[in-house]
Chain A
């Protein structure tokens, strides 16, 4: 009797512990995906009417949509640019520099670089709007105006630069935090040994620091590549994807097709495409960085 009770109790426990999370996961991840797949193969538009099942949307993606190729190109430029310049390289530079400063000063600079991430995205985007405002009163134009340079309209002349800067200033802090803690966890005596062995600052970074934080470098690259691939709110808020489609990245394109043009079904199909692209990118990067080996436990424990 006691045993029967115990197993019943176990069942109840399972439901109690796993239930809420499963429910959330199901209603906000699984269900939308199923609905999305369903809609992708219909002709649903703004009036939400479905007249039948069709593969038209998929066909349109693979040939019918002349804009899609340039959107993909914009996405590639945006993701690679932001990732390479800011999220990884600049984040690493910030981590290296702030960890070599005295503790308090380092923390101070890290806090400053963390501010963009802590501010609400709409406020942050508005600030960028003011910075690059084409009038004489934009922060950038005021600054260069002091040197006698005539006002620039970056949002129309270099829109890609603007969105990379705006996203990069936020993105850099993620890498910075991860790399900082990784660098901090490298045993001090390795740096001491390298200094005694004759290594200068750059040689120490190259031979000691970088190999030690390889895992974190790979992780930040993969994670941020995926995050950048699906994020569009800052672009939407700063440039509206414009001028024309010049800064419309894939995720934003999905949004514009679905909610600007009311092509719900085509938007659903496009977002399926984004899932496919994301999966491929992460698999390729996983392979490239040999994450499997990095995630394995060391075969021999080092004291």
Chain B
């Protein structure tokens, strides 16, 4: 296990900057997720930690030791790729044993460790099969066993669940999480799936365009997003973002005027769909469209504020398309339109 540090680490490919200078610390035994849309530099960061890419700038430290020039094979990291990257010509056993070939482990001990690793992820009955004969989930487990057999000081997971079907993803999510707790291995997960990041990791790093937008717990990112990007990226259905202007405590948004606490000038009002409380309140709206999702309904409302998405729990939808209704706002976020940063303590829930 190791404490991982990135100090001003950047990666450029010619003119293109994939990762801006980035500082980051992952504690010993911590499970951290990097979350971001594709092309945000999250996989590049992971590959730099693995030693597959060399940083253009900055230092990578494992337990205080600079490892920039240490080869991938000498870093003792385990990695699970999105495509699993199992060696197609080898059996499951040989795949799992592969990392031990290059360490001085005697045959009997190696076989025992392979058996243990396979048992850990429940593929011990498939040892003589080849990857082509396994399902996606089984391949995924084999890839995990291969990554874990050498007892890595850092486990890297690159979109490990995105090739699995939905129900399997759910089980693997909790299994990987439980495994990580049991082994206490420092783990970095890279994903574009916010549920994966927030449910599995202790801490989530939200990245966009090669830059870290915010580091925090799932709760931080959801309720206290630093920027419009984080607010928009986290949460499904996504947050309502409405352009507005604030002057002297009054917010103008669409045709409505709200009383604002904090903020001045061009701003963006952020309202989570579940913060729109339907049925009663100071605002009027009309149901333009609705999507029943079984447990909940998403309403697309036409309101004086502009188009607003609202989420209401409950198996039955209370309103129909065309219904006029009243609603209230339970909590709101306000961002500065220029800097896109959130204005701390600012909000607007009531009409002016």
Chain A positions within 8 Å of B, measured between CB atoms, are 187, 189-190, 192-200, 203, 207-208, 211-212, 298-300, 302-303
Contact = CB atoms under 8 A, between A and B. Distances in A.
A198 B83 contact: no
A196 B72 contact: yes
Contacts of B133: 299-300
Given A192-B47, A302-B88, A303-B136, A197 B83 contact: no
A138 B150 CA distance: 59
B79 interface: yes
Nearest to B50: A196
B81 A189 contact: yes
B160 to A, nearest CB: 12
B51 to A, nearest CB: 7
A286 B78 CA distance: 40
Interface of B: 47, 50-52, 71-75, 77-79, 81-83, 85, 87-90, 98-99, 101-103, 131-133, 136, 146, 150, 163
B132 A198 contact: no
B50 A197 contact: no
B103 A198 contact: yes
Contacts, number: 76
**Residue in A194, A195, A302 with the greatest tally of chain B CB atoms within 10 Å:** A302
A110 B75 CA distance: 34
Between B88, B133, B150, the greatest number of chain A beta carbons within 10 A of the residue's beta carbon is seen for: B88
Nearest to A200: B73
5 contacts: A190-B85, A190-B87, A193-B79, A203-B102, A302-B132
B79 A198 contact: no
Given A207-B98, A299-B132, A198 B73 contact: yes
A189 B85 contact: yes
Nearest to A210: B89
Contact of A192 (B78, B81, B99, B150): B81
A5 B206 CA distance: 69
A303 B73 contact: no
A300 B132 contact: yes
Contacts of A187: 83, 85
A83 B143 CA distance: 39
A189 B51 contact: no
Given A197-B98, A198-B102, A192 B146 contact: no
Nearest to B72: A195
Contacts of B98: 194, 197, 199, 207
Contact of B132 (A190, A197, A200, A298): A298
Nearest to B98: A197
Contacts of B99: 197-198
Contacts of A194: 87, 98
A298 B87 CA distance: 15
Given A194-B98, A207-B98, 9 more contacts: A193-B81, A193-B85, A196-B51, A196-B77, A198-B73, A200-B102, A203-B101, A208-B87, A303-B163
Contacts of B132: 298-300, 302
A142 B33 CA distance: 66
Nearest to B146: A197
A196 B52 contact: yes
Q: With a 10 A CB-CB cut-off, give which of B52, B85, B136 has the most chain A CB atoms.
A: B85
Q: Which of B74, B81, B131 has the most chain A CB atoms inside 10 A of its CB?
A: B81
A196 B83 contact: no
Contacts of B79: 192-193, 196
Contacts of B146: 197
Contact of B101 (A198, A208, A299): A198
A187 B82 CA distance: 12
A199 B50 contact: no
Contacts of A195: 51-52, 71-73
A200 B89 CA distance: 18
Contacts of A207: 87, 90, 98
Contacts of A203: 101-102
A197 B89 contact: no
B85 A192 contact: yes
A194 to B, nearest CB: 8
B64 to A, nearest CB: 22
Nearest to A203: B102
A285 to B, nearest CB: 21
Contacts of A197: 73, 98-99, 102, 146, 150
Contacts of B90: 207
Contacts of B101: 198-199, 203
Most chain A beta carbons < 10 A, residue from B87, B136, B146: B87
A173 B81 CA distance: 35
Contact of A196 (B73, B87, B136): B73
Chain B CB within 10 A, most for which of A195, A197, A207, A211: A197
A299 B88 CA distance: 13
7 tightest A-B CB contacts, nearest first: A198-B102, A211-B89, A193-B85, A189-B85, A198-B73, A197-B99, A195-B72
B2 to A, nearest CB: 15
Given A197-B99, A200-B73, A192 B52 contact: yes
A192 B50 CA distance: 9
A208 B79 CA distance: 17
